[in-house]
Amino acid sequence: MSDTFQLDGAAVSFEPGQTVMQAALTAGHYIPHLCYHPEFKPHGSCKVCTVKVNGRTMASCTMPAEAGLNVESNVEEMNDLRRTLVQMLFAEGNHFCPSCEKSGNCMLQALGYDLEVHTAGFRHLYPDRPLDASHPDILLDFNRCILCELCVRASSEVDGKDVFALSGRGITKHLIVNAESGLLKDTNIALTDKAMQVCPVGVILPKRVGFSVPIGKRKYDQRPISAQALDDAPRPADAGGSCAACEGTS
């Protein structure tokens, strides 16, 4: 029998081992997030999913669900925090949405719309980062990286290749390619790798297929990220699908 906690006044059931985020999504309650991915163990990189748990701020993707918790998510204080985090991500990188191939499929852009982020909020840093077009099939644009580490973990844990890594600390932290040359062409990455599929923004892109789906007809053009995340959330087997979260693979 499942225990429950309170999320914005609603009772949410959870199974042992689930986090607040996993239980919420499984139950049909959206908590904004960027670095969380249901196929990987969460580690709280972006903090966009921060909620208040019994009066204290916690990352809901790593906070274990417990009976009796009082969780506040869709409240102005938390949404203001999320807007600030999203504004900082936009200002820290070079995100020019109108000219980006990922526009309409980008989680950062979609989250900005969902949170009603109307201004940058901070002075743009315009970092000078390289663009790696050395690979015959893949383009790597470091300018858009938000340090979610999903490509790092996908390449290591799923693909078994360790193509990507993060280097540096603080403001100097950045994505690198694990090759002596630092170039993608000197790795064994393939278009079919999981690392090609998990980037929430426009860092890793296949070549020669740009704009095959017109802007305006893409994933988040059709449905807001809050609705799409619930469509994609794992569900218990008795609800018509497998529940990766319940099985401990989220």
CATH code for position 55? 3.10.20.740
Q: Tell whether 25 and 123 lie within a shared domain.
A: no
> What are 56-63's contacts with CB under 8 Å, separation 24+?
57/81, 58/20, 60/19, 60/20, 60/21, 60/24, 60/31, 60/33, 61/19, 61/20, 61/21, 61/33, 61/35, 61/36, 62/19, 63/19, 63/20, 63/21
Q: What is the mean pLDDT of each run of 10 residues along the chain (250 residues)?
A: 89 95 96 94 92 97 97 97 96 92 96 92 90 98 95 97 95 94 98 97 96 94 93 65 36
Residues 7 and 115 in one domain: no
Residues 215 and 112 reside in one and the same domain = yes
pLDDT at 233: 84
| Domain carrying residue 21 | 3-74
Q: CATH number of the domain that 175 lies in?
A: 3.30.70.20
- Name the domain count of the chain: 2
Asked whether residue 246 is assigned to any structural domain, the reply reads no
Q: What is the pLDDT of residue 247?
A: 36
Residues 218, 109 share a domain? yes
Please indicate, yes or no, whether residues 136 and 207 belong to a single structural domain of this protein. Answer: yes
Looking at the chain, how many residues does it have?
Answer: 250
